[in-house]
Amino acid sequence: MPEKDELVERLRHIALALPEVTERSSHGEPSFFVRGGRSGKQFLMLDDHHHGAAHLGFWCAAPPGAQEALIGHDPDRYFRPPYVGHRGWVGVRIDNDPDWDEVGEVIRDAYRQIAPKTLLAQLED
C-alpha cells in the first residue's frame, strides 16, 4: 500500500493538471479551486481523518444523481460527506487501492460542475 504522501501527491497531480486549478488550504486540508485566488470556486478537498473519519480520501462536487449512483455501486469506496453531501458532493476513499483511472474521472466530473464554459472547452481539447 502506498504511503499517505504518495496518495496525496497522486491526487494533487490529477487535480492540478486541469485548466486553471490552484491549491490552497481550506478548513485545514489541501483543497483545489478553479480560477484560484480569493474568488476561485472549490471543487475538491482532501479528507484526511476529517472530523474523526478513519480513512484517507477526498470530497468533491458531483453531477446530479452521481452521489447516489457511486455510493450504490461501491459503498466501501464512496460515501456522503458531512457539510457538503446535501449539495450532492461525494466522498471518495483513496486509501484502499483505488482504480486511479476511475478517481481521475470523478475528479474531472467535479471540475466540470464548477468550471466556466471557457475552461471546459480547454478540457475537451
Residue 58: CA count within 13 A, CB half-sphere? 28
DSSP-derived 3-state class of residue 106: helix
**Identity of the amino acid at 79:** F
Take residue 95 and report the three cell numbers written for it. 486509501
Residue 115 banded pLDDT, cuts 50, 70, 90: very high
Whether pTM > 0.85 for this model: the answer is yes
CATH class of the 4-115 domain in this structure: alpha beta
Give the H/E segment covering residue 108: helix 100-114
Over the stretch 72-86, which tens digit does the pLDDT of each residue have? Answer: 999 999 999 999 999
* C-alpha to C-alpha distances, 20 to 28, 122, 123, nearest whole angstrom: 22, 10, 10
* Residues 59, 5, 10: CA angle, nearest 5 degrees: 60
